[in-house]
Structure 1
Amino acid sequence: MFETYKPRNRFSAGLRTLGIIHYNAVNTVRGGHRNAIIGILLTMMQAFLLLTVFMVMFQVLGLRSAALRGDFMLYMMTGIFLFMTHNEAVKKTAGAAGPIGGILLHAPMNTIIAIASTALSVLYSRVLALGAVLFLYYALFNQFTIEQPVWAFAMLLLAWFAGIAVGSLFYGLRPWFPKLAPMMVQLYRRANMIFSGKMFVANSLPSSVLPMFDWNPLFHTIDQCRGFTFLNYSPYFTNVGYPFYLGCTLIIIGMMLQFFTQKRASVSWNAGR
């Protein structure tokens, strides 16, 4: 009972870490609802609701004709699902268990496992919801064609990766700025409602307005995803490299902050709050 487990080699240690990440990810997925199936259905309902809201908005404002040539619902999905995946990854990663959280005080848990399991739970739920929505739309309404499905799905993964990177930066700042960091997360997620480019394509923006959106990695991934999804659209103002390299940079900075904080973390930090 009081023995400390010591792995025999690095391979067994890696397998044990992957097992812990898996169990913690399952626990995070089931944390939204006691029934895992209902939890997934709720995620799908969120996607359906957002699609319906934006469909009505496009119809009322008369913007449907301004979209690129191709299936309009597919055009909406490429923006909304990447937006939801990115924003959820930012929220969950930034809100993962901190270095002085209850579960992190017990070995072998650490912050890397907490972040990895949270990120995997977001990817699992969003990919499952995306697959279900695409299947239902294909089977019941319109048999669409995705020009390059592998690369289009890679853009979803890139949006998820960029969300983890931004969330890890806020995660590293949270112990030092416990009130300000959550506000910054909310500000970033609200800004993505406008600056993600999910309601329009980058090629339609004038050059004077483009710098307002070009800073956002989600803007690049959504536009590139539409380029891989539709035959008649080629993105000129966005690229794949920017969100990838920005994500790598933010993850490095976030991990440096996290390791710096972990060495100085103390339960007594919250004593006077």
Structure 2
Amino acid sequence: MFKQRQNRTMLQAGFTTIALIYHQTVYNLRTEHRNAVVGLLLTMLQSVLFVAVFLAMYSLIGLKSSPIRGDFLLYIMSGIFIFMLHVQSVGAVAQSHSISSGIIKHEPLNAAVLISGAALAVLYRQTIGCIVILSVYYMAFQPFTIHDPLGAGALFLLAWFSGVAIGLIFLGIRPWSPQACKVLTTLYQRINMFASGKFFVANAMPGFILPWFSWNPLFHLIDQERGFLFINYSPHKTMLYYPLWVTIAALMVGLLINFTTRKYESISWSAVQ
């Protein structure tokens, strides 16, 4: 009972880390709601409300058919699912842990486990919600065909991973200035409500408007995702590798900031906040 467990091999250490990440992911899922099923239902309800708002907005402006030749609702959901996965990953990782929190004082835990648990909890909720909503829509309302499911799934994961990488940057800033981190994270999420281009088609955008969106890797991800979903749409104004390179660069910057922060961070910092 009082004997400290020690890992004697790299394989045993790997399994211990995986087990810690699993339990931390479950813990994060449980903190959203005491009932895991209700938590998933709330996540799906949030996505459904987004879809309903966009449908109402398109009806008000008189647009009732997809600008891409394909299913109109699938066109809307493609942008909403990628957007929500990305911004929620950013927020979850940015708030994943602090050196002054009580849970970090347990020796088996470390920053990597807490970050991985927060990121995987978002991925789990959004993936299950996406699958359930698409299944209900397919079986109860309108059958549809996805042109390249593997490519669409890969971009879905890249949207999640890019959110994790950007969240690491905000996480590194958080100990130095918690209020600035909170403001920057919220600002990034709010800007992407419009700058993600989830209700635009990049191929149909005028050239003078495109630079306002082309800086955003999420804009490229959503447009490229629609290229994998619809057989009749080929993205010409966005790039497939741009969000990948931005994600790698953000990951490196985030790791450097976090390593530097943990070198100087002290529990006493939280006393003056």
Structure 1 and Structure 2 fold alike (TM over 0.5): yes
| TM-score, length-scaled by structure 2 | 0.97
* Alignment correspondent of 1:137: 137
Query: How big is the shift at 1:4?
Result: 3.0
Q: Counterpart in 1 of 2:202?
A: 202
Aligned pairs for 1:64-143 (under 5 A) are 64-65=64-65, 67-143=67-143
Return the offset for 1:183. Answer: 0.2
Letter paired with 1:258? N
Equivalenced residues, count = 273
The CA distance in 2 between the partners of 1:56 and 1:205, in whole Å, is: 22
Runs of 4+ deviating beyond 4 Å: none
Measure, in 1, the Cα distance between the counterparts of 2:212 and 2:57: 23
**Is 1:236 the counterpart of 2:236 in the alignment?**
yes
Cα deviation per residue 1:227-248 (whole Å; 9 max; x = unaligned)? 0000111001112211111111
Query: Normalised by the size of structure 1, how large is the TM-score?
Result: 0.97
Specify the alignment match of 2:43 in structure 1: 43
Report the alpha carbon displacement of residue 199 of structure 1 after superposing the two structures with TM.
0.2
CA–CA distance in 2 between the matches of 1:87 and 1:239? 20
Q: Partners of 2:26 and 2:39 in 1: how far apart?
A: 12
- Say whether the 8 Å CA contact 1:170–1:185 is kept in structure 2: yes
Partner SS for 1:224: helix
Q: Percent identity?
A: 44
In structure 2, list runs of 5 or more residues that go unmatched. none
Give 1:66 shift: 6.1
What is the match of residue 254 of structure 2? 254
2:21·2:113 contact (CA, 8 Å) conserved in 1? yes
TM-superposed deviation, 1:21: 0.2
| Amino acid across the alignment from 1:223 | D
Determine if contact 2:99/2:267 at 8 Å carries over to the other structure: no
The aligned residue for residue 219 of structure 1 is 219
- Whether the 8 Å contact between 1:99 and 1:110 is mirrored in structure 2 is no
Residue equivalent to 1:272: 272
CA distance in 2, matches of 1:31, 1:73: 32
In structure 1, what residue type is equivalent to 2:240?
A: V
Q: 1:247, 1:267 → 2: CA distance?
A: 30
The answer as to whether partners of 2:93 and 2:119 remain within 8 angstroms in 1 is yes
> 1:90–1:10: structure 2 CA closer, same or farther, 3 Å change rule?
same
Mapped to 1, the partners of 2:110 and 2:262 lie a distance apart of 9
The residue that corresponds to 2:148 in the other structure is 148
- Describe the superposition over 1:225-269 as per-residue Cα deviations: whole angstroms up to 9, x where unpaired: 100000111001112211111111111111111111112222111
Matched, 1:14 2:21: no
2:91–2:185 CA contact under 8 A, matched in 1 = yes
Per-residue CA deviation, residues 78-108 of structure 1 (Å, 9 max, x unaligned), is 0000011001101101111123322112211
Alignment of 1:152-167 (within 5 A): 152-167=152-167
Shift of residue 64, structure 1, vs aligned partner: 3.5
Tell me how far apart the structure 1 counterparts of residues 201 and 149 of structure 2 sit (CA, whole Å).
Answer: 19
> Distance between the aligned counterparts of 1:53 and 1:122, measured in 2?
22
Shift of residue 2, structure 1, vs aligned partner: 4.2
Alpha-carbon separation, structure 1, partners of 2:265 and 2:143: 54
What CA distance in whole angstroms lies between the structure 2 residues aligned with 1:72 and 1:66?
Answer: 4
CA shift, 1:213, in A, is: 0.6
